Amino acid sequence: MTTEPRAAIVLAAGLGRRLGPIGQRTPKPLVRVGDKALIDHVLDELAVAGISAAVVNVHHLAAQLQAHLAARDPHQLPRVTISDETDGLLDTGGGVAQALSLFESATFVLAASDVVRRGAGLERLIDAWDDQVMDVLMLLQPRESATGFDGAGDFFQDDEARLVRRGEEAQAPYVYAGLLICHRRVYDNVPAGPFSNNLVWDRAIAAGRLFGVVHGGDWFHVGTPAAIALAERALED
């Protein structure tokens, strides 16, 4: 039987180097876009989709981020737990592996904290999730409409919605949109310490168990000062 996720991990420990001086004084998740900080955009998105608990990992300027999260309304969902990486960054995969010890749900949402989405992307993932055939279900953004993204794209998708990487191709049509549903079994037998989520994603691809859902709404990657301005203008429009 497929189990819908009720918990999330929010990756918020990055150094924000591409933000320049902004990232030196402010953790990227606290950069404001529109009327609120990036981390609040993500937590509010989780709450709307029914996610009741979120683990947020912290490292860079962690005290600022922890103070911000502690100031949230205690009755507001999702309830936030901190996964502390101040002693050393664990990379994306290692960060997830540590955070998994803080909740028991078999399935969970994984969200980046440097993306703003408009539209029911998470609800669509939840509707499509099937843990009998999937280990990972990613939200995808068409590369042409990925505001603030300047890369060549990440994935191709077949007729059954399975994903493969761009590989040696010059471009791929879809960008990982910073949001997915995952079963915790994919983090069995992972290395101790830092490692990238690419490890578990490649395992899922090899097993034919990594799928995607194409986002039908707006998507803004906020990784640079220029991208902040782009997202601000788009939200105003």
Give a yes or no: residue 2 inside a domain: no
Give a yes or no: residue 1 inside a domain: no
CA-to-CA separations, 166 to 68, 171, 172, 216, in angstroms, rounded: 38, 7, 5, 21
What pLDDT shows up at residue 230? 84
Give a yes or no: residue 192 inside a domain: yes
What pLDDT shows up at residue 1? 54
Give a yes or no: residue 209 inside a domain: yes
Per-residue pLDDT tens listing for the chain (237 residues): 578 899 999 999 999 888 888 889 999 999 999 889 999 999 999 999 999 999 999 999 999 999 999 999 989 999 999 999 999 999 999 999 999 999 999 999 999 999 999 999 999 999 999 999 999 999 999 999 999 898 999 999 999 999 999 999 999 999 999 999 999 999 999 999 999 999 999 999 999 999 999 998 999 999 888 888 888 887 777
pTM of the predicted model as reported, rounded to 2 decimal places: 0.96
What pLDDT shows up at residue 22? 87
DSSP per position, 167-200 = TTSS--SEEEEEEEEEEGGGGTTPPSS---THHH
Range of the domain at 45: 7-236
CB 17 within 8 A of CB 215: no
Beta bridge partners of 180: 110, 138
Give a yes or no: residue 87 inside a domain: yes
Domain CATH number, residue 64: 3.90.550.10
Q: Residue 138 — φ and ψ, nearest 5°? A: -95, 145
Give a yes or no: residue 108 inside a domain: yes
Our count of domains for the chain comes to 1
